Each structure stands twice: as structure tokens, then as C-alpha cells.
Amino acid sequence: MKRTCRIASFLLILVFSCSQARADVSFEQYFKDQTMRLDYFHTGTATEEHFSLDQMVNDGPWAGSKQQLVDDLRLGKYFFEIQDPRSGKVIYSRGYSSIYGEWETTAEAKKEWGVFHESVRFPWPAQKVKLVIYKRNQQQKFDPVWQYMVDPNSRKVNPAPLNTPYGVYEVAAHGKPQEKVDIVLLSEGYTKQQMDEFRADADKFANALFSTEPFASRKEDFNIRAVEVPAPNSGLNHPQQDIYNRSALSFSYGAFGSQRYALGYDNKTIRDAASTVPYEFTAILMNDSIYGGGGIYKLYITAASDNAFHDYLFVHEFGHHFASLADEYYTSATAYEMGSQVVEPYELNVTTYTDKDKVKWGDLIREDTPLPTPWGKEKFDDHSNQIQEKRQKMRDAKVSEDKMEQLFRQQREWEEDYLSQILHAGDVGAYEGAMYHSKGIYRSEPNCIMFTRTDHFCAACQRAIHMVIDQYAE
């Protein structure tokens, strides 16, 4: 029996049981063995949003599971269903998040309209089906926001396969795509002459991932393929550091005004490159030495491959993308106090509860562990605030990356030493401070790769990752 089924009872957000997800839908009855990619424009402001169809195309042979078609985890800010229009039955579903979902929370969205190109991918329908997209409301429940009738015989559907010109490097092969988790790595900022470097960085990504639990013990459940997308110039764009560049997939640092947050908005080009190989998850390896990246659930990660902390960046950002893990840190410019009316987050590694029976990972907490769990937070906060002030001054002065890396190393050494010596080091509990909030929200362990630049996931994160692996690997 899969881990998803064994531990489903502790998740408050589950709507479908494992048996429903497996038994109620027959792939052969509803789908053909190809992938349909429906592209749409997501338009709006901080207070309204609209969807409009762009195109429906063949995105290659179906690489996903043919058994687990209904998403029982329901993670992400958005969720889509493919329904049989005659019976209303859900025949495929997946949760996801998007750039739009982040952008609408920014100050810019309060002043002007934004347009973002997005995609949902699902098995090629044999007959007409209905697509319904849902969005999480303030109570963390899903409301329908758009629906579209998909006719596979429509003139708006292009069934022709896309033959991309890109080379492919096989990083890790452990079985058929339909039975494994398939990851595609895309090169960004590597010229044609630098593809040997990209292949080496692809190997570094796999080594970092498979050296970290639970990916290490589940290595055989993964395939990783790298797609070589040559760039006209080496490196990426850094507008806040007066470094300007044009790259093949148009990724750039400085997303939403954050100097080290890297995103790309040319969704169609990115998707076309990814469809060179079977994939479900995407990593953009950036040929850059400046610390930075990002991760959005079921969209992609970005990570600087030539930075001293590339292993951490690869794994941390992949945690966001793969299992919708929340950041567990909070001592940053965005930290603030939570109010008393906060709704329990959907992310599986954070909670607002301190009642063992309500905490998502409560079954992992020993009876003698106090909740909330003390961890010397005040001293940690004092040190972290000092680091943040120093870091901001160094950013403003545009110091060299070597000096920034030295500061990060000093911070990591202090944090590792401090968190390894506290009273409950290594204990699963409810440790206050997570998800950019100093008060009122809790994580499962004192340290985690989602909290500091350490090299391991906490218990809650590991369990969430196992659950996602189980959804794709057979």
C-alpha cells in the first residue's frame, strides 16, 4: 500500500480517498496516450482576474501515471479538474500555483493590470471534456474561477507533435515515464559552447537531490533528463545590479523587485523546450554565479548553478516546486506578526495549531514533547536580525559575490551550531516562527532546508515529499 493511503487520515485537506483516486477512473476509457497542453492568458489586478484561451497543442506522449489520475493531495493556490460533461465525473485533476498567484499580492497589482501566459497539461481526451479551474479563497477552500469545454476535434486544437531542435542529455533513467517521477532540466544562460558545463551542472543537480532524504531512498522512482537550450549570451539578466543580458528562455533576476528572485515569463517557449522529453516537474539551471533562484509549485524552479550554495538552492527550491513546501524562515524584510484570525495554511510543513491532535504531523510528536516547543527563539532572532541588516548594507553597496558568500557561510555555521545544541534539537514538535511570520505559525523541527541553508528536510517536509512521489511513481 502506498504511503499516501497510509497517512491520508491525518490530512484535513484531503477530499478524495486513495481508493477513489485509483478505482473510479479508467485511463483507457477517457484518454489517449498523448498529452494535451491548454495554454491560456491569466489577466487581472489585485481585486479581479480573467482567463482566456490561447491554444491547445500536443505536448508529447503521456508521461504521467495512468493509475493515479485524481489528485487527492489538493496542494497549490489553484486546482484544475477535467470532467466528463455527461456525468460530471472528475476524470483527471491536479493542483498547481502560478506567477500570477504571487503577482496579484504585490503593490504593482494594486495599481495596474497584468497579463500572464499559463498552461495546464492533462491526458489527451478521447471525447469532449470540461476543464474547470478553481482558486483558493480566504478560508483555503477552492472556488471555481473558469471553465472551458475542450473538444479534441476543434480547429483550436493542434494535434501535430512538436519536433524541437534541442539536444538531450540523460541524467538518470530508472524506468518508463508512466511509472516514474519525470524531471526535465532546462539550460538557461549557457551558450552552445558551454553545453559540457550544463551537463556537468545537470549531474550536480541530480547528486544534490539524491543525496538528500527522502529523495535518496526513493532514487529509483525518478527519471531526470536535461534539455540543451543554447543561449545567445552567457549568463542572466540582473537589472538591480546593472547587469543586462538576453537569454534563450528570457529568465531574469529581480522578479517582483526582489534582487535574487529569478523568474521567466515566456511560458510558451519554456513549455515547448520542456516538451522535448517526458516531464512532470521542471528545473531551470541558470549559468550564473550570483546567489538566487525561485520555486513555484508545479511550474518550475530556478537556481544559480555556479554559486557556492548551488546544492542548497537546487534542493530548497525543488521542495517548493515538487511538494508545495512553504518557506519556514521568517527573519527577513517580509516578516510580520500574524493576527488571531489566520486560517490554517494548506502547505503540509507549517501549521497554526499547537494541539497535537490538530497538527498535521501530530502523530510524529512524542507525548512528552511540549507544545509549542521551546527552542531559544529570542537569541536566534537577535542574531538573524543582525545578519539581515548587514546583508542589506552589502546589497546596497553592491559588494562582490565572494563577500556575500562569506557572510552566508558564517551565518550557516552559527545556525548549525546553535540549533544543534538547543534542548529539543532533533525532536519533532511545533516550533514557533515560519512562513515569513515570527508569531502564530509553527514548523515541525528546529532546523530544515526550508528554514536555513542546512542540508536536510524536517519530518513534515519529508512526509510531504513521499506523498507526492507516491502520486506519480508506480
DSSP classification of residue 238: B
Is-contact 225 171, C-beta < 8 A?
Answer: yes
Q: How far is CA 436 from CA 131, 223, 385, 443, 451, in A?
A: 34, 33, 13, 12, 10
Q: Which of 15, 64, 76 is nearest to 278 (CA)?
A: 64
Q: Would you say the pTM of this structure is higher than 0.85?
A: yes
Say yes or no to pLDDT of 6 above 90: no
Q: What is the pLDDT of residues 250-292, one digit of tens each?
A: 999 999 999 999 999 999 999 999 999 999 999 999 999 999 9
Nearest CA to 465 out of 140, 216, 220 is that of 216
Q: Please count the other Cβ atoms lying within 10 Å of the Cβ belonging to residue 272.
A: 17
Crossing angle of helices 401-419 and 377-396, rounded to 10°: 180
pLDDT of residue 266: 98
Mean pLDDT score of the chain, rounded to an integer? 93
Fold that domain 167-323 belongs to in CATH = Collagenase (Catalytic Domain) (3.40.390)
Residue 341: φ, ψ to 5°:
-100, 20
pLDDT(37) > 70 = yes
pLDDT, position 8: 39
Identify the H or E element spanning 284: strand 281-286
- DSSP string covering 165-188: --EEEEEE--S-GGGSEEEEEEEE
Distance CA 248, CA 441 (A): 40
* C-alpha separations of 166 from 22, 33, 126, 227 in Å: 36, 23, 30, 6
How does pLDDT run across 404-445, given as a tens digit for each residue? Answer: 999 999 999 999 999 999 999 999 999 999 999 999 999 999
d(CA 419, CA 282): 32
pLDDT of residue 94: 98
Q: Where are the domains of the chain?
A: 3-160, 167-323, 353-453
Helix (H, G, I), strand (E, B) or coil at 398: coil
- Residue 24 above 60 pLDDT? yes
pLDDT at 307: 94
> Is the pLDDT score of 7 beyond 50?
no
C-alpha cell at 365: 510528536
Q: What is the pLDDT of residues 119-147, one digit of tens each?
A: 999 999 999 999 999 999 999 999 999 99
Mean pLDDT of 456-461: 98
Q: Quick one: pLDDT band at residue 3, thresholds 50, 70, 90?
A: very low
Which has the minimum average pLDDT: 18-27, 306-315, 385-394? 18-27
Q: What pLDDT score was predicted for residue 123?
A: 98
Name residues whose C-beta falls within 8 Å of residue 416's C-beta, 6 or more positions apart in sequence: 447, 452, 454
Mean pLDDT of 444-465: 98
Largest CA distance in the chain: 65
Per-residue pLDDT of 355-381, as tens digits, reads 999 999 999 999 999 999 999 999 999
| 2 pLDDT more than 60 | no
CA distance 473 to 377: 39
**CATH architecture for segment(s) 3-160:** Sandwich (2.60)
Separation CA 131–CA 152 (nearest Å): 12
- pLDDT at res. 331: 78
pLDDT digits (tens, 9 = 90+) for 330-360: 976 543 344 446 789 999 999 999 999 999 9
CA–CA separation, 41 and 51 (whole Å): 6
What is the rounded distance in angstroms from the CA atom of residue 365 to the CA atom of residue 356? 7
Q: What is the DSSP string of 429-441?
A: S-EEEETTEEEEE
The confidence band for 152, taking pLDDT boundaries of 50, 70 and 90, is very high
How far is CA 206 from each of CA 36, 168, 215, 362, rounded to the nearest angstrom?
A: 28, 15, 10, 32
82 — pLDDT class (breaks 50, 70, 90):
very high
**Confidence check: pLDDT of 97 > 80:** yes
pLDDT band at 1 (very low <50, low <70, confident <90, very high): very low
pLDDT in tens, 237-251: 999 889 999 999 999
The rounded percent of the chain whose pLDDT value lies above 90 is 89
- What pLDDT is recorded for position 12? 39
Sequence-distant (≥ 6) Cβ neighbours of residue 153 within 8 angstroms: none
pLDDT at 341: 60
**The pLDDT of residue 25:** 84
Question: For residues 451 and 143, what is the distance between their CA atoms, to the nearest angstrom?
Answer: 31
